[in-house]
């Protein structure tokens, strides 16, 4: 259990380590609400499965921690996570977009 917690903490911290201390953008839930159109088509449908590149169960992301969501999006954008659809979407997001979306979904 402790090993899993340490691994999870490391996965969240690594993508954020590139930010200078205190310079990570602050997420805005209201701004995030205006940016979710690319997300809701998959992540708002209970039990949804995507069929590209393979049949993949799409996770519900509401209620996840903002740090985890921001780290995951940063990892997709960088290519450290390999799902092609998510990589394409994350690649179009700015650091502020990621912070806003993470704040929005964390608050749901």
What are the domain boundaries of the chain? 2-18+26-106
Q: Are strands 56-57 and 49-50 parallel, antiparallel or unpaired?
A: antiparallel
CA distance 108 to 16: 22
pLDDT of 65 > 90? The answer is yes
Tell me which of 3.40.190.10, 3.40.800.20, 1.10.760.10, 3.40.50.150 is the CATH number of domain 2-18+26-106: 1.10.760.10
pTM of this prediction exceeds 0.85 = no
Structure tokens at 7: 């691994």
The 10s digit of each residue's pLDDT in 41-64 is 889 888 888 877 688 889 989 999
Confidence class for position 22, pLDDT limits 50, 70, 90: low
């Amino acid at each position: 259990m402790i090993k899993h917690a340490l691994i999870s903490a490391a996965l969240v911290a690594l993508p954020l380590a590139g930010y200078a201390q205190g310079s990570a953008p602050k997420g805005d839930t209201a701004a995030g609400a205006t940016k979710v159109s690319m997300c809701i088509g998959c992540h708002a449908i209970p039990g949804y499965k995507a069929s590209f590149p393979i049949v993949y169960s799409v996770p519900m992301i509401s209620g996840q921690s903002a740090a985890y969501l921001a780290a995951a999006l940063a990892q997709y954008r960088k290519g450290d996570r390999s799902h092609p659809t998510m990589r394409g979407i994350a690649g179009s997001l700015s650091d502020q977009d990621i912070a806003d979306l993470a704040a929005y979904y964390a608050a749901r």
